[in-house]
Structure 1
C-alpha cells in the first residue's frame, strides 16, 4: 500500500469516526422510537411478506402498519390505559382509613394485635409521593406533546421503510460487514433466533400465564383484573420469579380475609395450570439458538426498563443477548489459544 493510500485510509477512518459520532448524537434522542420500530417491523414482517406477493412494497408496508396499529398498538394502549386507571383505584383503596380497616381484619384473622400507626403514616406518605409522581409524569407527557409527535413521526417512517426496503437494508449490511462469510451467516441466523425467542417465545408464554391468571381473578371476584394481568405479564417474563409472585400473595390474601375455598382454588390453579404453561408452551414457541441465562435476562429486563421504559422489557435482554453472541463468536473464531507452559 502506497503512502498516499495509507494517508487516504487514515483520513477516511478519522472522518468516518467523526461522522459516526455525530450520527449517533443525532439518533440518540429518538433511539427508543427507532428500537420500537425495529421490534414492530420484526413482528409485522410475516404479514408484510404475505401482502408483498399481491401488492407492491409500498402498499403492503402501509397496509401492514395499519393492521399492526389495530391488532397490536391500539389494544396495548387501551390495556395499559385501563391498567393505569385501575392502579390509581388500587392506590385509592390504600388510603389510611381503608388500610386501618384491612389491618383490623388481618389482626382478627391471625389473632394478633399490634400498633402499626407508624406503618400507616409511612405507607400513606409513600402512596402520596407515588401519586404526586404520577401527576408529575402526566404533566410532563402533556408538556412534551410536540416531542411525542416527533417521536411517533420517526417511528412511523422508520417502520415504513424497514417493511418496504428491509431486505435491501439487510443485503447492504451483509456486503459491508467485514467478517468471514461463515461467521456473517451465523451472526445473522443466531440474531434472528434471539429476536424470535425474546419477542415471540418469552412474550407468548408470559401473555398466556397473565391471561389465565386474569380469568382466575375474574371468576373468583377479585378486582382490578386488567392491572393484575399487566403486572403478571411483566412478572412472568422474569426468570425464577414468574407469575407465582402474583398468585401466591393473592391466595394468601383470600385466606386472610376469610375466603379459604377461593384461596385454595387459586393456589391449586396457579401451581398446576399456570406453572405448567411455562413447561408446555415454551418448548413449542422457542427455537434452538442463543439461550440467555436468567442473570442476563434479569439484568437486561431491569436495565432496559430503566433506559427505554416499558419497551425496554424486550429490548434489554436482546441487547445483552447480542453482546453475548458476539463475544462467543469472537472467542471461538479469532481468540488465540494461550500458550502451554513449559515444564
Structure 2
C-alpha cells in the first residue's frame, strides 16, 4: 500500500497544493510583488558591482540600491502620477462646466470637412453626427471622470496604497540581498537540463530588462515631446496629454499617434493650418522616429523577437493584466518562442545521431 511510487505521487500532490495556496495568498499583493521582482532584476547588475565594491556587505549594498531605486524610479513616477491626477481633475471640472466642449470641437471638424469625407462617413453608416458627437463627449467625460475619481480614491485609500508600497520596498530589499541564492534554488528545483535552465533564465531576465528599459525610455521621450509640442501650440492640459501619450506609447507602432493625429486634424479642418502642419511634422519626424528608431534598438535587439510579436504580445498583455501586461506579455511570448526552439533542437539531435 505504502509504496515508493505512491509516496512520490502524494508528495507531488502536496507540493502542487501548497504552491497553489501560496500563490493564492500572494494575489492581494500581486502588483507589489511583481514590480519588486521586476525592479530587482533590472537593478541586479548594479547591485552586484556595488556588492563587490563594498566587500560583500549584502545588507548595505541592498539598502543603497533600494535608495537609488527610490530616487531615480519611484519618486519621479509618484510626482508624474500626482501631476496626472491634478490635470485630470481639472479637465473633468472644465468639461462639466462647459468650458471645454469636445462635442463642439467635433462638430467644427465635420462642418469644415471636405465632401469626400462626409460621403465616406455616409457610406460607413456614420450619418448621425449628433450621435457621434455625444459619444465623443461622453467618452472623454468618462475618461476624465475616471482620473478624477481615482484621484479622490487614492486619497481615501491612502492606507492601502502605503501598505502596498511598503510591501514592494520590503520585498525588493530582500530580493536584492538574497536574489542570487533564491534564483539558484529555483533552478535546482526545475526538472530540466542545465542547458535549458540557463537558456530560459537568461531569456527571462533579458526580456524583462529590455522590455522595461526600452518601453520606459520610449514612453518618457514620446510623452515629454508630445507634452512640449502641445504646450507650445497652446493646447489645454498639455501635461495630461503628455502623460496619456506616454502611456499609449507602450503600444508599439500606434501609441502616441492616437492623441496627436486627431488634434492635428482638428487644427487643419478649423483653419489653424500652421498649427496642424507643425504638429504633423513634429509627430511624424520627431515623436514617430523615437518609436521607429529607439524601440527596435532597445527592445527588439535584446529580446530577438520580431516587431509583430512584440506588438501582439504587448497588446494581449495589456488587455489581460492591465499596466503590468506590457512586461508580462513580451516575457510570455519570449519564453514561448525559446521553449519551442529548445524543443525543436532536442528533436533534431536524435535525428542527427540516427543518420550518423
Q: TM-score range by the shorter chain?
A: 0.7 to 0.9
TM-score, normalised on structure 1?
A: 0.82
Match of 1:291 among 305, 323, 327: 305
Which residue of structure 1 aligns with residue 20 of structure 2?
21
Instruction: Give the match for residue 86 of structure 2.
Output: 85
Alignment-derived partner of residue 33 in structure 2: 34
Instruction: Quote the residue 1:322 is aligned against.
Output: 335
CA distance in 2, matches of 1:240, 1:225: 22
How far does residue 241 in structure 1 lie from its aligned partner after superposition? 1.2
Are residue 181 (structure 1) and residue 194 (structure 2) matched? yes
Question: How far apart are residue 259 of structure 1 and its match?
Answer: 1.9
**Equivalence map 1:2-151=2 (5 Å):** 4-55=3-54, 56-95=57-96, 96=98, 98-99=100-101, 102=105, 105-106=108-109, 109-110=112-113, 133=146, 137=150, 140-142=153-155, 144-151=157-164
- Indicate the residue corresponding to 2:218 in structure 1: 205
Distance 1:126 1:226, change over 3 A: closer
What residue in structure 2 maps to residue 234 of structure 1?
A: 247
Give the drift of 1:322.
2.9
Q: How far apart are 1:104 and its partner, in Å?
A: 6.5
Q: Tell me how far apart the structure 2 counterparts of residues 123 and 245 of structure 1 sit (CA, whole Å).
A: 14
Tell me, what secondary structure is at the counterpart of 1:258? Answer: coil
In 2: Cα distance, 1:128 partner to 1:222 partner: 17
Q: Which residue of 1 aligns with 2:180?
A: 167
Residues 300 and 121 of structure 1: is their aligned pair in 2 closer, same or farther, counting only changes over 3 Å?
A: closer
What is the alpha-carbon root mean square deviation over aligned residues? 3.4
The 3-state SS of whatever aligns with 1:53 is: helix
Structure 2: distance between partners of 1:33 and 1:204:
22
Q: Structure 2-normalised TM-score?
A: 0.79
Offset at residue 142 of structure 1 (A)? 5.0
1:266–1:30 distance in 2 versus 1, CA, 3 Å: same
Contact 1:216 1:266 in 2 (8 A): yes
CA contact 2:43–2:65 (8 Å) conserved in 1:
yes
Instruction: Out of 122-131 and 218-227, give the one that drifted further.
Output: 122-131
Q: Distance in 1 between matches of 2:231 and 2:209?
A: 31
Q: Which has the larger displacement, 46-55 or 12-21? A: 46-55
Give unpaired runs (5+ residues) of structure 1: 338-343
User: Matches of 2:222 and 2:104 in 1, distance apart?
Assistant: 32
Q: In the TM superposition, what is the alpha-carbon distance from 1:168 to its structure 2 partner?
A: 1.3
CA contact (8 A) 2:51 2:61 kept: yes
**Structure 1 residue 46, shift from structure 2 partner:** 3.5
Contact 1:209 1:233 in 2 (8 A): yes
SS of the residue 1:242 aligns to = coil
Shift of 1:272: 1.8
Q: Distance in 1 between matches of 2:178 and 2:335?
A: 23
Q: 1:238, 1:25 → 2: CA distance?
A: 30
Measured against aligned partners, the alpha-carbon deviations of 1:189-245 in whole angstroms (never above 9, x if no partner) come to 222221122111233223222222222223222232222222212222213313222
CA distance in 1 between counterparts of 2:296 and 2:311 reads: 18
Query: For the residues of structure 2 that align with 1:267 and 1:132, how far apart are their CA atoms?
Result: 29
Query: In the comparison of the two structures, how many residue pairs are matched?
Result: 336
1:300–1:249: structure 2 CA closer, same or farther, 3 Å change rule? same
The alignment partner of 1:178 has SS state of: coil
After superposing the two structures, state which structure 1 stretch, 298-307 or 328-337, moved more. 328-337
Distance 2:207 2:232 in 1: 37
Give how far 1:277 is off: 2.4
SS in 1 for 2:282: helix
- CA positional deviation for 1:135: 5.9
Cα distance change on mapping 1:74 and 1:148 into 2, 3 Å = same
Deviation at 1:4, TM superposition (A): 3.7
Cross-structure match for 2:205: 192
Give distance in 2, aligned partners of 1:228 and 1:44.
30
Pair 1:225–1:50, CA change in 2 (3 A): farther
Inter-CA distance 270–193: structure 2 relative to 1 (3 Å threshold): same
